[in-house]
Structure 1
């Protein structure tokens, strides 16, 4: 035994001595190369190597994507649905895309509770959390330990640059600190005219376009997308895009209409999971790359043009306010690139979410005529002098920030609509460290899902009428004291939407002026689905019947 130990020691010392010599290392490498070349020259050996590689690859795939993820991952200690074995590697994706966004999640929550596991693409386990205390842990207490999934961040960065929605950690905190003043109530008060005037332009346009002969079919979501883009242009950047009248002549409206209407829910989900697909040499990918480049160029041009304004400090739009901000500690201002990324963020998020929100609200009100009529009466009583014939009302006729916020039914309808059809139905976070959910320990990299479409319909928090559209619920408990980790239209914690006040007043302005002048009813035979394309998009585009209403 001692002889064997001595031999091993001697060989080890000799081997180490040889490898310390550059000439010896070179000789060993040559020997290994010629041996490998000689072996690979034999067909039988090549076939054996190929078979071994294939076997190892299959073992790796089976081990990681089937055995580990479907059975051994700690997430499987939680209850949840079985994966769909009919389509390998796709977990529960088939169930998710076959129904309205959030519908299957709600069914699973009723069956498995407010913390459960399901499988996404590549059989990746995901944990949906609708428990308020756990959501507080993820979104507030430990927010820096839970970030966007890498593929989600890459997808968002393609369209939004490194703006606030894509940023994480200290970068996000710095950006938010610099942008907060631009979204203060004082700043929003000065933006109301730039919200009312584009909306009044659409009201006038519809009023002139449609006859008095009764209800007319209209694709409301298309015009609302153009309106919201025009509105973010005026209140966000002090610019008139004129995309309501000439959408084809405006580069931004052309790009966004193409980007946001060209994909199916399956295509959008694929792009989120695999951002590299947008680099493929196919027609759709080339068009998307062209649209993104155009948006980046337009955002840069807006920032450069704003920098040349002599009256910049007198302006009240978001871009002007962002350019005026100075960091108290460092004295820094936002760079041109940072401003460009924020412009891309507010252009995309600011107009897409509001057009989706108003589209679903009008759809819901079309099916609740009593609520729509009561809301119209409240608005017509509050703003009797605002005429649909007047495309450019005088300053003294434009309602103020407080005028809109003091309408109780309008407030309740907007809050209830955001509960009933939240514009962003689902978001996810990935643990950057090992973490625990109750008694279950989970490894870093585990994905957790936050789904307002589940939290907003939980009867334990909302009562037995959670499935119904009831604006009056906001006048009483439990809704008027609901936890911010249950009502999540703008998320919560450190990543709560910075523009939630902007979005709410924008929602109220558009809804109030449309309901004041038009009655919306369902279009016979039209069926719409809730599609998940980052936002809760109506598929196909929301189409309703509309008729004029005289004040």
Structure 2
């Protein structure tokens, strides 16, 4: 029996190897984007992907390639496959908005998303995605999210109290803000998503908090070539083979599954209670996302309603997308404010003007929206550092992607659309669009919140401020209003009480902002120490 199994395994290995090699040869000689210019391949197996993953400057290589090749160029990915890289506004608008679901996620991307967030809205495609979005919409309406503002503000006050204890009133203290900010956002997402108290700011250790510490950082410190090849292999094999291999996750993927399973364990009893008919009154009075989702789900046609696993997967999506992303964005904002004291002082003065107008009460959504420079600062950090720099899509059929800014081909022709074949992989470079000089001006690579005080009309793209930081179209981030309001509340609450500055001369220059999973600050040469952003925090009182 063992001999038979060994023979079967050898045959499978031989077939898979032959399939991969034939695919590499075929792609090498039948390159779908050979007419486009682009950087040369550095590896036949890895293309440019491994090089991009190891770069030590956020958006460094992509920025160089944009300057040489324009807003659309040919890249390469694993196993010799061509990759179309686009940051062109018209191309992004076409793929995200005009094309509906004609550019889905490739199989290997869906696999990794499934490990992290199950069958939630970020994983599913087509009508399943449309069905889930309709059920989720009521929980993310502007009216509903305004009710969370009080929660954001009370959590910010708890964080401020903790910092007051850490900081000597007269001298201040150096804080690693990467340690603190995920705590407040985890508490906020627990209470707002499903009325669950993580107690992270209180110092209570919980399973999810521990998992988050190394959910993505370990992958960056040790990317693992074979792991990356295995992940990509599943996407290059026929669907039924790739879906079978998903049952054999890598070490990294087992870590992702640990997060998914832990988040479902937390949410399951709360889902049961919210779905129980005896708790109907409590559910109606509850304002958390889970309760609203259950209410909306119960009013749907049973054939279109979400099943238990779909609902629990949405909670995993909420925890990941609403916790670590907001914490990372605010961490980067503190980094910029510490380096730009004049902007920080201007921001503080604007906050003080609102405080004088409203007295001791907490600012309302209208108060927060009324501050031009305050909101310009939030838009600028989202522009410079979109937490997810790229999205990967795949053409479902032959198509032609239009360009706003024509590019020059290998033969010297200037073209204003890119013909793509069925199955063509496309990288949507959100971070590069957010820094295009044609859209944002000659200082697009620099911190300048004032650009958002200019009322001049720009390209209409994305769900917020002409940015692609929350993507766009049918798959645009459903929780973008939640994220913006949370950033507003935290910024107002902390900057009113504290001032931020570099811990010592040149120390912030030792921090690298690296894109892996999320944009993460690490100390040069000390990635193994984990996320670090030391900021000198001093009380204003």
Provide the TM-score with structure 1 as the length reference.
0.81
Q: Is the 8 A contact 2:395 2:423 kept in 1?
A: yes
- The whole-number CA distance in structure 1 between the counterparts of 2:482 and 2:59 is 26
Distance 1:265 1:385, change over 3 A: farther
Is 1:461 the counterpart of 2:442? The answer is no
Is 1:536 the counterpart of 2:519? The answer is yes
Query: CA deviation digits over 1:240-263, x for unaligned, max 9?
Result: 211112242x22222222424433
SS, match of residue 76 in structure 1: coil
Instruction: State the Cα distance separating 1:131 from its structure 2 match.
Output: 1.8
Distance 1:521 1:336, change over 3 A: same
- The whole-number CA distance in structure 2 between the counterparts of 1:426 and 1:167 is 18
What residue in structure 2 maps to residue 442 of structure 1? 420
Is 1:129 the counterpart of 2:86? The answer is yes
Distance 1:193 1:477, change over 3 A: closer
SS, match of residue 536 in structure 1: strand
SS, match of residue 311 in structure 1: helix
2:328 to 346, 349, 356: 356
Q: Is the 8 A contact 2:89 2:459 kept in 1?
A: no
- The whole-number CA distance in structure 2 between the counterparts of 1:221 and 1:509 is 18
Is 1:95 the counterpart of 2:51? The answer is yes
What residue in structure 1 maps to residue 495 of structure 2? 515
1:312 to 274, 279, 283: 283
Is 1:501 the counterpart of 2:481? The answer is yes
RMSD after superposition: 2.9
- The whole-number CA distance in structure 2 between the counterparts of 1:113 and 1:226 is 41
Is 1:546 the counterpart of 2:504? The answer is no
- The whole-number CA distance in structure 1 between the counterparts of 2:110 and 2:249 is 19
- The whole-number CA distance in structure 2 between the counterparts of 1:169 and 1:215 is 52
Q: Is the 8 A contact 1:102 1:451 kept in 2?
A: no
Q: Is the 8 A contact 1:102 1:453 kept in 2?
A: yes
Matching of residues 181-260 of structure 1 within 5 Å:
181-248=138-205, 250-260=206-216
Instruction: State the Cα distance separating 1:58 from its structure 2 match.
Output: 8.1
Instruction: State the Cα distance separating 1:278 from its structure 2 match.
Output: 9.1
Query: CA deviation digits over 1:515-539, x for unaligned, max 9?
Result: 2222222234342222222222222
Is 1:431 the counterpart of 2:395? The answer is yes
Matching of residues 21-32 of structure 1 within 5 Å:
none
Q: Is the 8 A contact 1:126 1:448 kept in 2?
A: yes
Q: Is the 8 A contact 2:117 2:123 kept in 1?
A: yes
- The whole-number CA distance in structure 2 between the counterparts of 1:268 and 1:214 is 44
Matching of residues 110-509 of structure 1 within 5 Å:
110-248=67-205, 250-264=206-220, 267=223, 270=227, 273=232, 279=248, 289-308=257-276, 309=279, 310-326=281-297, 330=301, 333-383=305-355, 397-437=361-401, 440-478=418-456, 481-484=458-461, 487-509=467-489
Provide the TM-score with structure 2 as the length reference.
0.82
What is the aligned length? 485
- The whole-number CA distance in structure 2 between the counterparts of 1:219 and 1:459 is 34
SS, match of residue 211 in structure 1: coil
Distance 1:60 1:514, change over 3 A: same
- The whole-number CA distance in structure 2 between the counterparts of 1:333 and 1:364 is 44
Q: Is the 8 A contact 1:114 1:130 kept in 2?
A: yes
Instruction: State the Cα distance separating 1:186 from its structure 2 match.
Output: 1.0
- The whole-number CA distance in structure 2 between the counterparts of 1:183 and 1:111 is 41
Question: Please, which moves more after superposition, 161-170 or 402-411?
Answer: 402-411
Distance 1:493 1:58, change over 3 A: closer
Question: Please, which moves more after superposition, 370-379 or 69-78?
Answer: 69-78
Distance 1:447 1:386, change over 3 A: same
Q: Which has the larger radius of gyration?
A: 1
Instruction: State the Cα distance separating 1:369 from its structure 2 match.
Output: 0.8
SS, match of residue 174 in structure 2: strand
Instruction: State the Cα distance separating 1:513 from its structure 2 match.
Output: 1.4
What residue in structure 2 maps to residue 31 of structure 1? none
- The whole-number CA distance in structure 1 between the counterparts of 2:335 and 2:431 is 17
Question: Please, which moves more after superposition, 421-430 or 525-534?
Answer: 525-534
2:35 to 57, 73, 77: 77
Q: Is the 8 A contact 1:367 1:521 kept in 2?
A: yes
Q: Which has the higher helix share?
A: 1
